[in-house]
Amino acid sequence: MDFNAVYHEANDNYCYPFNNDELIINIKTGYDIKSVNIIIGDPFANGILGGGEGWEGESEPVVFKKRLKNQLWWTTTVKPEYKRLKYYFELITDDEKWYYFEDGFLSDEQKNLAGRSRQCFVFPWMNPCDIATTPAWVNDTVWYQIFPDRFCNGDHTLDPENVLPWRSHKEPVLNEECFGGDLQGIITKLDYLKDLGITGIYMTPINESYSNHKYDTVDYTKIDPLFGDETVFKELVTRAHERGVRVMLDGVFNHSGYYFAPWQDVLSKGPSSEYFDWFMINTWPLSEGGGHAQKGEYYTFAFFDDMPKLNTNNPVVRKYFIDICAKWVEDYGVDGIRLDVANEVSHQFCKELRTRLKAINPDIYILGEIWHNALPWLRGDEFDAVMNYPLGESIKDFWIDKSLTNEDFEYTVNRCYTMYMQQTNDVLFNLLDSHDTKRLRSDVKSLDAYFAQLAVLFTMPGSPCIYYGTEIAMEGSYDPDCRRCMPWDAIEKGEYADRINIIRELIDLRKQEPLLKSRNFHFPNEYADHPRVIQFQKVGWSDNYIEIIINTSEEDVEIAQKGEVLFARHYIDTALLCNGILIRRIKE
């Protein structure tokens, strides 16, 4: 047996309560393992621990598994009668059987030695307040990310002197350019978003700042006057809610802008400033010239001297910014808050933020910008979810790297959904591009490949988000070119009606078919002879599932007609053409 491939621990994503009654248990093994049994029971079924209780437990098969690149991920759900569980595993290969305990592997003979200890795995107690909970509404939400300055100019009285005429979306933009998009502009387009099927808006920062992106905040207590004021924002939230659209704000608490008043006070007064400990300053005075971050004189976002890093280890700093967030929830009525550079903010800040905001609104959605495995932030006491960049990058990689097979696609998608608890998977923020990345349309060679990737996005577990302009296949290179102006004139003339209708159809399908939002999926691998054909099934009931098939090969593939076609592109009779999409419901 491949002992090195086996792994389990009685916590985190390997063993956790899904709710008050159900405990989910996962174990990784090598491909040599043909079956897994779990031996479970109450820790005190035969007496107190250490009292010669002779604990045995009952054996149950672990029947569900997912394939990873080099391992199998086995999963089962149990219902401990008394909210606690003691267990170990029986691992069976073609010619071996081993028992897996917390301290390692035992043979039959070792396990049955008189007096030998059995150091079982134990989940001590399913305390309700320790169970990770996530807001259910997020799984039903389709998000639309807006970069306000480039979305729509709805109030020209707010335009600064340096405002530029609205530019064609086919022309690049620069960071220092201002086009006058504002909150009133978003209000005027709420009916457009509702008609598209959008049920959640995520806006990049709207607090006062001298940049167009607002990630260098000057005043966290004010809405940037170029965008509007509190009255306009409250109207936006109210009108969005009237249309069934949620609103999420972006909070920048890892760093501030150069002109943030506390930082200016530090620059003026040095160590005598009451705000000196609000930042992470290593040496004083600062040297002449720039490059302070590179010299290690103080910490910043990346190496931008104008974005000094906030010290969220300081309880005064934590309170200040948590109070800001509480105001957004209490006074503005926002439904979610996204934390920028969330993996560099202290865990203590994130824990206190969650406690405060959930006390105000238990259904608030707390989202972290983390681009890597984020399990330390997703144990139920910090964020509800993170931006699922690993999934988005994996989807795009499959189209870029032609050497990858449908099995590789299966492995990487399964990796993305075995990193966290199931309740987290339900609300992961799934995206293919954003204000921080190259736009998807500029990453693919054809519109067919573009819509094929979006079809995958809208059928994955979690909560999908499209970036403004995705519905018209807007192009744009890396930041800042990915932040072009939205072409409202062309949209209103119907120039992009066909593209918009495809996105609307995918959104409507996701909203109408509960299985498309489900966390349960399966790769049947029925097209092994066509390694560039993706096939997966969203399963709910044994006789009813939705199948997604996408042909990314260079040749047509025969797909037998079966079930009810829910969505199709380039599917003619029984031929699925290159980058063809087939989504169908099958009842057996």
Q: What share of the chain is helix, strand, coil (3-state, %, to 5)?
A: 30, 25, 45
In which region does residue 241 sit, left (phi positive, over 0), alpha (psi from -120 to 50) or beta (all else)? alpha
Q: Where are the alpha helices (DSSP H) in 89-182?
A: 108-111, 148-151
Q: Which long-range contacts link 229-237 to residues 24+ away (Cβ below 8 Å)?
A: 230/331, 230/332, 232/155, 232/182, 232/183, 232/184, 232/187, 233/183, 233/206, 233/332, 234/331, 234/332, 234/333, 235/187, 236/183, 236/186, 236/187, 236/190, 237/332, 237/333, 237/334
Cβ contact 440:396 at 8 Å? yes
Distance, in Å, from the CA atom of 470 to the CA atom of 455, rounded to the nearest integer, reads 13
The amino acid present at 99, given as its one-letter code, is Y
**If residue 163 lies in a helix (H) or strand (E), which one and from where to where?**
none
The rounded distance, in Å, linking the Cα atoms of 490 and 476 is 17
Two tokens at 33? 């393992």
CA–CA gap between residue 239 and residue 154 (Å, rounded): 15
DSSP codes joined into one string, 337-360 = EEETTGGGS-HHHHHHHHHHHHHH
Dist. CA 487–CA 519, nearest whole Å? 36
381's tokens: 């006491």
- Between CA 541 and CA 550, with CA 547 as vertex, the angle to 5 degrees is 165
- Return the number of other C-beta atoms located less than 10 Å from residue 355's C-beta: 12
DSSP E strands, 253-387: 336-339, 365-368, 385-386
Tokens of 550: 């996408």
CA distances from 286 to 270, 290, 553 (A): 9, 9, 58
Query: Which pairs count as long-range contacts for 401-409, CB under 8 Å and 24+ apart, including other chains?
Result: 402/532, 405/531, 405/532, 406/523, 406/525, 406/527, 406/528, 406/530, 406/531, 406/532, 406/533, 406/534, 406/535, 407/67, 407/525, 407/528, 407/531, 408/69, 409/534
Beta-carbon count within 10 A of 380 CB = 18
Q: Which amino acid is at 190?
A: L
- Catalytic residue from among 369, 410, 436, 547: 369
- DSSP per-residue string spanning 453-470: HHHHHTTSSSEEEEETTG
Phi, psi (rounded to 5 degrees) for 260: -60, 125
| Residue 371 burial by Cβ neighbours in a 10 Å radius (0-12, 13-18, 19+) | middle
Whether 369 sits among the annotated catalytic residues: the reply is: yes
Residue 517 to residue 172: CA distance in whole angstroms? 36
At 584, is the secondary structure helix, strand, or coil? strand
Single out the catalytic residue among 216, 335, 340, 547: 340
Residues belonging to the active site: 340, 369
